[in-house]
Amino acid sequence: MKIIALSLIVLATLPRPALAEEVLLAVASNFVTAAEALAETFEATSDHSVVVAHGSTGALYAQIVSRAPYDVFLSADAERPRLLGEAGLAADVTTYALGRLVLVSKEAVDLDTASEDFANKRVALADPMVAPYGAAAIAAMENLALDTATFQPLLVTNVGQVATLFVTGNADLAFLAEAQLPFVERAEVTALDGRYPEIRQDAALLTRSEGNPAALAFWAFLASDAAAEVIVANGYDLAE
């Protein structure tokens, strides 16, 4: 298994993997750790190998539209895979996980008086234009009646960068995927259930994967009980 984070310019010029036994995944930042675990399980039970490229959902979507050589897209939303299907760029779409948004902070936060806890603080969140967890964070802040004029929002490209800001002490509060919590030590965690729309994470089998047995095998594996166990173990729910 390989893990890469490539720019649009580089990806757009890459050829398809030379070996048909290799599947190239485009993975939303929040799901990288789970994708690595899925790749390890898949590789252990097949003759195929996996390459994981990661970034924000919006950036990966733009790369796919620009014909980057991905086989499977693990998005953090349902919209982009749907759009790919409508554009003829996805042969199949399925929901593989339901994500959860949490708030992490240096000190405990009372959601009933959240405006006081946010006042004059540095608050990290992913850019809602390209990151579904950022859009969920905006919805949660609106639900809590928070005024961004009273604190300092720190917008970055994806939730991986949000976690980095918090862990390095450059943010006082941060909106993260619950799956990231194992990598965030010494933090107060506040659940935000019911304060943001459901984060339905869909996968797309891209049409350019046609004829790649590794891609088809991984797509079948993604629907298996073994994959479901890995997804749940990494902090996600499954769609009913």
pLDDT tens digits, residue range 138-178?
Answer: 999 999 999 999 999 999 999 999 999 999 999 999 999 99
Look up residue 11 and give its two tokens.
Answer: 């990806």
94 vs 82: CA distance, rounded Å: 10
In a domain, 73, yes or no: yes
94 in the same domain as 212:
yes
132 in the same domain as 89:
no
pLDDT at site 9: 35
Radius of gyration of the chain (CA): 18
207 vs 92: CA distance, rounded Å: 8
How large a percentage of the chain has pLDDT more than 90?
89
Nearest to 97 by CA among 233, 196, 194: 233
90 in the same domain as 62:
yes
CATH code of the domain covering residue 185: 3.40.190.10
In eight-state DSSP terms, residue 7 is -
- Comparing 3-17, 33-47, 142-156, 170-184, which segment has the lowest mean pLDDT? 3-17
More confident residue, 1 or 17: 1
pLDDT at site 5: 56
In a domain, 223, yes or no: yes
213 in the same domain as 157:
no
In a domain, 240, yes or no: no
161 in the same domain as 207:
no
64 in the same domain as 41:
yes
39 in the same domain as 23:
yes
Residue 11: is its pLDDT beyond 80?
A: no
147 in the same domain as 110:
yes
Angle (CA) 49-52-53 rounded to 5° is 145
Nearest to 99 by CA among 203, 177, 189, 181: 177
In a domain, 239, yes or no: no
Residue 4: other Cβ atoms inside 10 A: 13
Percent of the chain that is helix, strand, coil (3-state, to 5): 40, 25, 30
In a domain, 154, yes or no: yes
Confidence of residue 185 (pLDDT cuts 50, 70, 90): confident
pLDDT at site 4: 59
Q: What is the mean pLDDT of residues 12-16?
A: 47
In a domain, 65, yes or no: yes
187 vs 173: CA distance, rounded Å: 9
170 vs 8: CA distance, rounded Å: 28
pLDDT at site 2: 62
CA 36 to chain centre: 13
Residue 134 is part of which domain span? 101-191
Nearest to 204 by CA among 102, 67, 64, 52: 64
The terminus-to-terminus CA distance of the chain in angstroms comes to: 30
121 vs 190: CA distance, rounded Å: 16
Confidence of residue 50 (pLDDT cuts 50, 70, 90): very high
92 in the same domain as 72:
yes
In a domain, 78, yes or no: yes
Residue 128: is its pLDDT beyond 50?
A: yes
Backbone dihedral angles phi then psi of residue 237, each to the nearest 5 degrees: -100, 165
Look up residue 52 and give its two tokens.
Answer: 């994981």
223 in the same domain as 178:
no
Residue 8: is its pLDDT beyond 50?
A: no
In a domain, 49, yes or no: yes
Residue 130: is its pLDDT beyond 50?
A: yes
Angle (CA) 59-63-69 rounded to 5° is 140
Q: Give the total number of structural domains in the chain.
A: 2
Confidence of residue 240 (pLDDT cuts 50, 70, 90): confident
Q: What is the mean pLDDT of residues 4-15?
A: 47
Confidence of residue 13 (pLDDT cuts 50, 70, 90): very low
CB 189, CB 103: distance < 8 Å: yes
90 in the same domain as 208:
yes
> Considering the chain, what is the average pLDDT of its residues?
93
154 in the same domain as 129:
yes
